[in-house]
Amino acid sequence: MNMSAHLRNGLVGLHSVRRWRPSLRLSVGLLAVAVVVGMAVVLAEVVAGHLRSIAADAAVHNVEAIVRGYVDPQVDEGSLALDALPEPGISDELERLIVAGDIRVISIWSRDARIVYSTAAELRGRRFSIDDLVARAFLGTSISAYAVNQDHSEGTPGPTDTQPVLQIFVPIRGLVDGDPIGVYEVEQDARPIEDRVETTRRDVFLLALAAATVLLIILAVAFAGTSALLGRQNRLLRARAETERLLGVDLRRSEERFRSLVRSSSDVILIIDADGTIGYESPAVARVLGYDPEERVGTSAYDAIHDADVAWIRSLIADISTRTGAEAAADFRARHADGSWRWLQATAKNLLNDPAVSAIVVNYRDITDRRALEEQLRYQAFHDALSGLPNRALFMDRLDHALTRARRDQSAVAVLFLDLDDFKSVNDGLGHGAGDELLVSVAERLNRTLRDADTAARMGGDEFAILLEDAHDKHASVEIAERILEVLRAPFTVQGQHVRIRGSVGIALYTDPEQTADELLRHADVAMYAAKSQGKDRLMVFQPDVHLVTIDRHQLKADLHLALDNGEFTLLYQPVVDLESTTITGVEALIRWQHPRRGLIGPTEFIPLAEESGMIVPVGRWVLAEACRQGQAWQEGAARPLTMSVNLSARQIDDIGLIDDVAAALRDSGLDPALLTLEITESVLLSDMEVVMARLRALKSLGVRLAIDDFGTGYSSLSYLRNLPVDVLKIDRSFVAAVDSGTAERALVRSIVSLAQILGLETVAEGIEEPSQLAALRSAGAQFGQGFLFAEPLDAHRVPAALARVTSCARPRRRAASPAPRRGRRPVRAGITSTS
Ligand code: C2E
Ligand code: CA
Ligand code: CA
């Protein structure tokens, strides 16, 4: 290390010295000063001491020289003998010496302790006691001593001298034997010596002080430098230790955060190896499956999986465990600790090659409730809400299966089509409530009459279909049909009244492997019409010549071709209202056919025919164009934008030209695409999903909105909803009809609404007829609705008035709690209903 660096360190170190406690700093400083001063003093004292003795020795030599040179020759035994008179010459000689130098007094002692000669006259001849110094001089040694305030004699009033003096005693040797015959005492002024000694002492003191100070500073700097160096190293070490500690803390913290995330996650995190052995399971397992988190560690994750699922789950895991990073998702059942089965939705990821994990990480949650809702919706989709019987969809499905079986093992299949005679009169006479009650009773009697293997279904309105499997021949089927007609003939009690009802049954037998379910049902339908036309309350077995009766339908189909050109179609518009404010936010276009001979025909009657013949495509094109034109016409003068909903049938979705038709309708009318909602039913989704998705995306790209119509009546898998580009869920009328009948139904609607909310979909409840339904729907959180309670489907020219009326009626929003808008006559069922 070079000097400047050292100095720098030292100065830095002095800074560190400043960090000492002040009292300690003061003591150390004082001690250092004391040591330095003390050393200087001691050194100065030592030097001064030496100097004084050297000076004394020199003075002694001087005096010896004088004694030997001047005094000895003149002094002898005699002149110093007792009582001898002092030789005056000697005294003169001594006085001369005094004048010459610093010598103040010179005396000569004789052996008898008498001062024989002295320059101080008052001392001459006097006798004194011999002190130690004089005694030693008499022994032959020259000796000197410093003294102060030398008093010459006791009692003698001499000048009291306070100055320092040097006393020198030199023996005077006799000529005879060399023994001292006297002592020559010189009292010399010590001040010059003392002055010199003092100066020297001061110089030495200062020099020593300076030297010691410099030395001390050097030492201090060196010490401080070292201490700074050590301090820095210490700080570095401490900082490193601190960083490590912090890092450790940080790591620990993030690890803890991760752990608590895992711990508090509502999903269970499961770590398994490739064999499915559990290495870890997060605490959520206690809530989801009722197990202690530790309980299953070390066991196989497959143990709890349902027998029906375990094999394919195993192969799924086996599959992903061969590919690094591979993921898989699955829904399956697992046993809860309480023994019940729970549906789990799981995702698994292969992190076997991730050194931090080395496992398959599974994330699962309980979806039992969701599955139950799906199950319930599926049940609804396949069952008639009123009677609880299977609906058309389930019936057709079972018929399909029965036909497949029949083709395979030549088993027999028959379809009975039952339509109640004059049901309309019950409905009209006793009210819809009585009509519904009657339908339920009919369903019960059907069920009682049939064997378990047979299926009775409600096809809509007062129409029922019965699937007979293993009905060996025509006679067996006829027998059952007769029994059905028989049980119907017994009177029913509806709302306390006896009601008589009859039915007509058409029977179609499976005879040809080429026959489809649709065909068989149509044949039964045709036979039923034949039975009706022959006077009702009877049965008819389908025979090819019975087909004549169907001319009616064929005729209708044929008429459809002309209807478009003849302008026989019209659109009615049913308002869609905001359930909270009951203001109209839009309308749904509903087609009607003004048949030249048969009068007004409803869509349920002719849309299926139009679909069969393909006429639905041009008819649908017309509906789109007309609805858009009308919709745009209403925008002018409307207080706020009015949405327009148009129904699309599955056949239209299949048609490649649909996108162009919609685009053309929008372009020609000028309607804002955002105001157009296209309604499709769930059944659309049954066809080729890829085509459907592509078509829906193309529609969406035009800027229109998409709605799922009659939600809950189709193949309600909630999972597909997530993937569809839809904006609106229209809750089917059957849910709305049941919503005020019980808590379970209400909960179902609530589930649908909350599902829609989760998926970000608007909800429109269809077929609201009663204020109680409105209240229940509101409390379930449904946003929009349609129904006779607000308005029936209206002629276009009546819509502007309705817009004004419903809006004004809804103004005092407080009344929303009991909104039954009893504005005159309650809206009647619009158009033609399909009941007979
Ligand atoms: P949807 O789309 O579910 O239409 C609602 C049906 O419920 C309409 O029957 C309407 O009159 C009826 N409705 C409305 N409010 C109530 C109510 O409060 N109670 C009851 N009981 N019914 C109510 P509509 O007009 O007979 O139409 C029947 C079906 O025909 C429609 O069902 C729709 O699927 C189809 N449809 C109508 N117009 C068209 C069309 O232009 N094209 C196609 N492809 N299908 C159409
Ligand atoms: Ca609709
Ligand atoms: Ca609907």
| 333-355 pLDDT tens trace | 999 999 999 999 999 999 999 88
Q: How far is the CA of 590 from the centre of ligand 1 (A)?
A: 6
Confidence class for position 1, pLDDT limits 50, 70, 90:
very low
The answer, yes or no, to whether residue 393 has pLDDT greater than 60, is yes
Which residue, by CA, sits nearest to atom 15 of ligand 1? Answer: 787
**Model pLDDT, residue 304:** 94
Q: Give per-residue pLDDT as tens, 437-461.
A: 999 999 999 999 988 889 999 998 8
Which residue, by CA, sits nearest to atom 27 of ligand 1? Answer: 603
Which residue, by CA, sits nearest to atom 34 of ligand 1? Answer: 647
Q: How far is the CA of 572 from the centre of ligand 1 (A)?
A: 10
**Model pLDDT, residue 62:** 81
Q: How far is the CA of 261 from the centre of ligand 2 (A)?
A: 46
Most confident of 336-340, 558-562, 684-688, 816-820: 336-340
The answer, yes or no, to whether residue 633 has pLDDT greater than 90, is yes
Tokens of 656: 């490649």
Q: Give per-residue pLDDT as tens, 533-544.
A: 777 888 989 887
Shortest-distance ligand to the CA of residue 573: 1
The answer, yes or no, to whether residue 834 has pLDDT greater than 50, is no
Confidence class for position 20, pLDDT limits 50, 70, 90:
low
Confidence class for position 69, pLDDT limits 50, 70, 90:
confident
Pick the closest to residue 730 from 696, 765, 755 (CA basis): 765
Please give the number of the atom of ligand 1 that sits closest to the Cα of 830: 11
Q: How far is the CA of 830 from the centre of ligand 3 (A)?
A: 15
Which residue, by CA, sits nearest to atom 10 of ligand 1? Answer: 793
Confidence class for position 155, pLDDT limits 50, 70, 90:
very low
Q: What percent of the chain has pLDDT over 70?
A: 85
Residue with tokens 């019950």: 426
Q: Are 377 and 716 in contact (CB under 8 A)?
A: yes
Residue 493: HSE in the Cβ half-sphere, 13 Å Cα cutoff = 1
Amino acid type, 75: V
Most confident of 23-37, 257-271, 770-784: 770-784
**Segment holding 328, helix H or strand E:** strand 327-335
Q: How far is the CA of 716 from the centre of ligand 3 (A)?
A: 15
Confidence class for position 832, pLDDT limits 50, 70, 90:
very low
Distances (CA, A) of 627 to 188, 484, 578, 678, 829: 148, 46, 21, 11, 22
Choose the residue to mutate in 590, 592, 706, 835 for probing ligand 1, maximizing ligand atoms within 8 Å of C-beta.
590
What is the 8-class DSSP label of residue 674?
G
Shortest-distance ligand to the CA of residue 625: 1
Q: Give per-residue pLDDT as tens, 139-148.
A: 888 888 888 7
**Model pLDDT, residue 823:** 36
Confidence class for position 496, pLDDT limits 50, 70, 90:
confident
Please give the number of the atom of ligand 1 that sits closest to the Cα of 768: 18
Q: How far is the CA of 517 from the centre of ligand 3 (A)?
A: 25
Q: How far is the CA of 497 from the centre of ligand 3 (A)?
A: 33
Distances (CA, A) of 84 to 75, 81, 88, 93, 614: 12, 5, 12, 18, 183
The answer, yes or no, to whether residue 831 has pLDDT greater than 50, is no
When comparing pLDDT for 227 and 249, which is higher?
A: 227
**Model pLDDT, residue 89:** 67
Cα 72 to chain centroid distance, Å, stands at: 121
Please give the number of the atom of ligand 1 that sits closest to the Cα of 574: 14
**Model pLDDT, residue 792:** 95
**Model pLDDT, residue 739:** 84
Strands (DSSP E) found in 596-693: 599-601, 643-647, 676-681
Q: How far is the CA of 142 from the centre of ligand 1 (A)?
A: 154
Q: State whether residue 384 is helix, strand or coil.
A: coil
Strand partners, 281: 270
Q: How far is the CA of 648 from the centre of ligand 1 (A)?
A: 12
Shortest-distance ligand to the CA of residue 710: 3
The answer, yes or no, to whether residue 812 has pLDDT greater than 50, is no
Q: What is the mean pLDDT of residues 696-725?
A: 84
Q: What is the mean pLDDT of residues 120-133?
A: 80
Q: What percent of the chain has pLDDT over 90?
A: 38
3 state SS for 254-287: HHHHHHHHHHHCCCEEEEECCCCEEEEECCHHHH
The answer, yes or no, to whether residue 592 has pLDDT greater than 50, is yes
Mean model confidence pLDDT for the chain: 83
| Residue 393, number of CB atoms within 10 A of its CB | 18
User: Taking CB atoms and a 6 Å cutoff, what residues make up the pocket around ligand 1?
Assistant: 574, 590-591, 602-604, 607, 620, 623, 647-649, 679, 709-710, 733, 766-769, 786-788, 793, 830-831
Q: Give per-residue pLDDT as tens, 313-339.
A: 999 999 999 999 999 999 999 999 999
Sorted by sequence, the CB contacts under 8 Å of residue 602 that are 6+ apart come out as 592, 593, 831, 832, 833, 834
Q: How far is the CA of 767 from the centre of ligand 1 (A)?
A: 9
**Model pLDDT, residue 532:** 83
Q: Give per-residue pLDDT as tens, 548-583.
A: 545 567 788 889 989 999 999 999 999 999 999 989
**Model pLDDT, residue 716:** 55
**Model pLDDT, residue 18:** 59
Strand partners, 464: 418, 458
Q: Report the DSSP pairing between strands 643-647 and 584-595.
A: parallel
**Model pLDDT, residue 11:** 56
Which residue, by CA, sits nearest to atom 7 of ligand 1? Answer: 767
Which residue, by CA, sits nearest to atom 41 of ligand 1? Answer: 591
Q: State whether residue 698 is helix, strand or coil.
A: helix
Which residue, by CA, sits nearest to atom 8 of ligand 1? Answer: 590
The answer, yes or no, to whether residue 66 has pLDDT greater than 80, is no
Distances (CA, A) of 688 to 397, 518, 680, 683: 18, 20, 15, 11
Q: How far is the CA of 797 from the centre of ligand 3 (A)?
A: 23
Distance between CA atoms of residues 267 and 115, nearest Å: 128
The answer, yes or no, to whether residue 546 has pLDDT greater than 70, is no
Q: Are 453 and 389 in contact (CB under 8 A)?
A: no
Choose the residue to mutate in 588, 678, 766 for probing ligand 1, maximizing ligand atoms within 8 Å of C-beta.
766
The answer, yes or no, to whether residue 808 has pLDDT greater than 60, is no
Please give the number of the atom of ligand 1 that sits closest to the Cα of 571: 41
**Model pLDDT, residue 29:** 82
Tokens of 122: 């008052």
Q: What is the mean pLDDT of residues 207-231?
A: 86
Among 122-131, 153-162, 739-748, whose mean pLDDT is lowest? 153-162
Strand partners, 599: 595
Q: Which residues surround ligand 2, an ion (CB under 5 A)?
A: 647, 679, 709
Q: Give per-residue pLDDT as tens, 89-102.
A: 666 777 777 766 67
Choose the residue to mutate in 647, 683, 739, 764 for probing ligand 1, maximizing ligand atoms within 8 Å of C-beta.
647
Which residue, by CA, sits nearest to atom 23 of ligand 1? Answer: 767
Please give the number of the atom of ligand 1 that sits closest to the Cα of 602: 26
Amino acid type, 383: H
Please give the number of the atom of ligand 1 that sits closest to the Cα of 652: 44
Q: How far is the CA of 682 from the centre of ligand 1 (A)?
A: 15
Please give the number of the atom of ligand 1 that sits closest to the Cα of 620: 42
Q: How far is the CA of 577 from the centre of ligand 3 (A)?
A: 15
Q: How far is the CA of 647 from the centre of ligand 3 (A)?
A: 9
- For the question of whether the overall pTM of this predicted structure is more than 0.75, the answer is no
